């Protein structure tokens, strides 16, 4: 398991609540409770898939066509956030695995930064669509880093008054930016 800090988890929950809408007010209250309670947040583990987790919940945004909230404890399942809240409050030391479903969750840097592997899942395989989305995200991230590097080289050429380097790096930058437009 990765060592994700409570501050990182809190930052993610803050970001999520600011950027996405959850239909059930009690779910927002539950997420606020998690966010504001370090002892509980220490036991929270964000995962892609809660399969086989003994204690877990799924939170989904309004724009997804699925149940907005599910809480699992061993073989029991409920859609009532109040029951999850009570259980979490009564047993803050017990690990709880949280799957947050929202558009582009797999490529969200905020979510990727706090996700951990599900220790109960043997091996998770990605669908072709998920694999494609992840590859696109990685490629775009690398392209953005290359643009930043080339921009720095352009500035360096300007500072040094090197017209040849400036023209070369400007051409490279233009090509990198056209890659994005071609998609």
Residue ranges covered by each domain of the chain? 6-124, 130-182
Residue 122: predicted pLDDT: 56
Question: Which pLDDT band, with edges at 50, 70 and 90, does 182 fall under?
Answer: very low
Q: What is the pLDDT of residue 65?
A: 77
CATH topology for the 6-124 domain: hypothetical protein tt1805 (3.40.1530)
The C-alpha atoms of residue 163 and residue 165 are separated, in whole angstroms, by: 6
Stronger pLDDT, 58 or 142, i.e. the higher one? 58
User: 87 or 117: which carries more pLDDT confidence?
Assistant: 87
| Average pLDDT value for residue range 121-149 | 76
Q: Which of 108-112, 116-120, 126-130, 152-156 has the lowest mean pLDDT?
A: 126-130
Q: Which of 164, 180, 171, 181 is nearest to 150 (CA)?
A: 171
Q: Is 42's pLDDT higher than 60? A: yes
């Amino acid at each position: 398991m990765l060592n994700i800090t409570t501050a990182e988890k809190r930052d993610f929950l803050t970001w999520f609540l600011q950027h996405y809408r959850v239909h059930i007010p009690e779910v927002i209250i539950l997420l606020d409770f998690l966010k504001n309670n370090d002892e509980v947040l220490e036991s929270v583990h964000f995962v892609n898939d809660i399969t086989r987790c003994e204690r877990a919940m799924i939170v989904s945004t309004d724009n997804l066509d699925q149940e907005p909230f599910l809480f699992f404890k061993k073989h029991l399942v409920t859609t009532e956030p109040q029951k999850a809240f009570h259980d979490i409050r009564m047993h803050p030391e017990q690990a709880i695995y949280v799957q947050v479903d929202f558009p582009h969750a797999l490529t969200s840097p905020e979510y990727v930064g706090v996700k951990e592997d599900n220790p109960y899942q043997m091996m998770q395989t990605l669908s072709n669509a998920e694999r494609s989305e992840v590859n696109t995200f990685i490629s775009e991230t690398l392209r953005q880093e290359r643009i930043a590097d080339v921009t720095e080289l352009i500035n360096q050429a300007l500072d040094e008054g090197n017209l040849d380097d400036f023209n070369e790096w400007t051409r490279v930058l233009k090509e990198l930016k056209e890659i994005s437009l071609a998609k």
